[in-house]
Amino acid sequence: AQSVSQHNHHVILSEAASLELGCNYSYGGTVNLFWYVQYPGQHLQLLLKYFSGDPLVKGIKGFEAEFIKSKFSFNLRKPSVQWSDTAEYFCAVMGNTDKLIFGTGTRLQVFP
Partner 1 sequence: NAGVTQTPKFQVLKTGQSMTLQCAQDMNHEYMSWYRQDPGMGLRLIHYSVGAGITDQGEVPNGYNVSRSTTEDFPLRLLSAAPSQTSVYFCARSDRRPYEQYFGPGTRLTVT
What are the DSSP calls for 42-85, one per residue? Answer: S--EEEEEE-SS-SEEE-GGG-EEEEEGGGTEEEEEESS--GGG
Total residues interacting with partner 1, rule: CB under 8 A: 22
For residue 61, what are the contacts with CB-CB under 8 A and spacing of at least 6? 47, 78, 85
Tell me: does residue 49 bind partner 1 (CB under 8 A): yes
Tell me: does residue 101 bind partner 1 (CB under 8 A): yes
Tell me which of 29, 43, 54, 70 binds partner 1, using CB under 8 A. Answer: 43
Binding site for partner 1 (CB under 8 A): 6, 9, 32, 34, 36, 43-46, 49, 51, 90, 92, 94, 98-105
